[in-house]
């Protein structure tokens, strides 16, 4: 009777052990299947990111090719789609009225910039910057903030007149903030007097203009 009891207990043990192993094997199979699906999704995500990166590089190459003339002449710089223009190329000192050369340059930029923005789905932010020297008190502008904003608006108006859709561009004035060189000498101040045209995500413009009055979304007043 004792031997029968031992065998019965052993049978129950082996049955329970078998059930446990089957359960563990099932968990392993599920985990393996999850890993395979996760790896497939990760590979797909990486392929999509790689394709988007390649497309962005192709758009930048097209923009650089379209702007080869102004780039070669040194009238503009181009970094990651951001177009930089020295203030002296566009405006006379303390003025927001475009020089003829500046107007011609912006007309050259409008077409390539529009093509780039259409492909990227982005919006152009036109930013005006100045050096830190105080303006003449009897001048047209109260301070560098006002001068930088009006210059940016002038560039926006010129670009839209040249065909860039008004809903794809807006203006911002930063005054003497965010210098790219020292304001301690004329060379540095000349670099800080500039206009930049930078691609930004379209939702950023929507957030900035969600409460704007009509005409402010495109930088016009």
Lowest mean pLDDT among 35-49, 133-147, 163-177: 35-49
> ∠ at Cα 194 (109, 204), nearest 5°?
70
Looking at beta carbons, which pairs linking 46-55 to residues 24 or more positions away fall under 8 Å?
none
Question: Quick one: CATH architecture of 67-208?
Answer: 2-Layer Sandwich (3.30)
Per-residue confidence (pLDDT) for residue 212, from 0 to 100: 46
Q: Could you tell me the strand order of the sheet in which 122-129 lies? A: 76-79, 82-86, 194-201, 122-129, 169-173
What would the pLDDT profile of 2-55 be if each residue is shown by its tens digit? 455 555 555 665 666 667 777 877 788 777 777 777 777 777 777 767 767 776
Q: Which helix (H) or strand (E) holds 79?
A: strand 76-79
CA pair distance 40, 93, nearest whole angstrom: 59
Q: How confident is the model at residue 218 (pLDDT cuts 50, 70, 90)?
A: very low
The pLDDT value recorded for residue 215 is 37
Other residues' Cβ atoms within 10 Å of the Cβ of residue 9? 10
- The domain ranges of the chain are 1-58, 67-208
Asked if residue 219 has pLDDT above 50, the reply is no
* Residue 162 φ/ψ region, left for φ over 0, alpha for ψ in the -120 to 50 degree band, beta for the rest: alpha
Phi and psi based region of residue 7 (left: phi greater than 0; alpha: psi -120 to 50; beta: remaining)? alpha
Give the helix/strand (H/E) hosting 173. strand 169-173
Q: Which two tokens stand for residue 213?
A: 């009055």
């Amino acid at each position: 009777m004792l031997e029968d009891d031992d065998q019965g207990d052993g049978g129950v043990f082996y049955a329970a052990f078998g059930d446990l192993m089957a359960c563990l094997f099932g968990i392993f199979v599920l985990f393996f299947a999850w890993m395979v699906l996760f790896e497939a999704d990760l590979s797909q995500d990486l392929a999509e990111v790689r394709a988007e990166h390649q497309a962005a590089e192709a758009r930048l190459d097209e923009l650089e090719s379209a702007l080869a003339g102004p780039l070669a002449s040194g009238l503009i710089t181009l970094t990651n789609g951001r177009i930089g223009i020295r203030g002296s190329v566009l405006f006379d000192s303390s003025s927001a009225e475009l020089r003829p050369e500046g107007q011609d340059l912006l007309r050259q930029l409008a077409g390539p910039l529009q093509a780039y923005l259409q492909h990227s789905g982005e919006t152009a932010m036109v930013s005006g910057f100045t050096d830190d020297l105080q303006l003449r008190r009897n001048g047209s502008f109260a301070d560098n903030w006002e001068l930088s904003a009006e210059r940016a608006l002038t560039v926006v108006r010129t670009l839209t007149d040249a065909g860039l859709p008004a809903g794809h561009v807006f203006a911002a004035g930063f005054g003497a903030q965010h210098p790219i060189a020292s304001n301690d000498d004329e060379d540095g101040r000349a670099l800080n007097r500039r206009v930049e045209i930078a691609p930004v995500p379209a939702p950023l413009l929507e957030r900035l203009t969600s409460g704007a009055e009509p005409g402010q979304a495109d930088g016009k007043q």
